[in-house]
Amino acid sequence: MHVNRRSAIRQLLIISAGAALLPACVNDKKPAAAAYNNLDISVDDEAMLAAIAGTLIPATDTPGAREVDAHAFALRMLNDCYKKEDRERFVSGLQQFRDGVRKKYNKSYAACTSVEQEAIITAAAARQDAGDDAAYFYNTFKRLTIQGYTSSEYYLTKVEVYKLVPGKYISSVPV
């Protein structure tokens, strides 16, 4: 068999590329949400958080938290602004929350009915143990979701119209 330099290099590149890609094919871990490099959450977790945000601030005649991507704001704040210990505690609480829902309802949060989702959120809100990671997760996510919703473009242009301070100057005002 005659092997020239060009075919040997080509075969070497194909074999090395295959060896580099092989571990990614065998890994059974869920893909991480790409935008959040400091948070260890999967795409399924992000979908669950979107559903939780939709339960916290539901869509009525106005868009809800899910429609204005308030959950993405909350995740961005956690990813960029929180300490590593707080992020780890949030992810641990998220896992406890997810496992608790699976244990009680035998399905994911997103697959639950709206009545079940409201019952889950009510139970999470009633939990006030300060050392509990699940309570920390819920309280932090709720606060950041509300902050994300109230600072969204829709809210600031249609609900609570934002006016730049100091506003319009009126030189002559009757006393």
In 34-132, which residue ranges form alpha helices assigned H by DSSP?
43-56, 70-81, 84-105, 114-126
The three-class DSSP label of residue 72 is helix
Q: What is the mean pLDDT of the chain?
A: 86
Task: Record the pTM.
Answer: 0.73
For residue 21, is it within any domain? no
The three-class DSSP label of residue 88 is helix
Q: Do residues 31 and 25 make contact, with C-beta atoms less than 8 angstroms apart? A: no
Q: Which amino acid is at 166?
A: P
Number of independent structural domains in the chain: 1
Q: Do residues 98 and 48 make contact, with C-beta atoms less than 8 angstroms apart? A: yes
**Structural domain range at position 48:** 29-159
For residue 98, is it within any domain? yes
For residue 8, is it within any domain? no
For residue 18, is it within any domain? no
For residue 153, is it within any domain? yes
Q: How large is the average pLDDT for residues 159-171? A: 79
pLDDT tens digits for 69-123?
999 999 999 999 999 999 999 999 999 999 999 999 999 888 888 899 999 899 8
Quote the CA–CA distance of 98 and 45 in Å, as a whole number: 8
Which residues face 32 on adjacent strands? 42
Q: Looking at 12-26, 74-88, 139-153, which range is the least confident one?
A: 12-26
Biggest CA–CA distance in the chain, Å, is 103
φ and ψ at residue 117, rounded to 5 degrees: -60, -40
Tokens of 87: 């992020």
For residue 111, is it within any domain? yes
For residue 114, is it within any domain? yes
For residue 15, is it within any domain? no
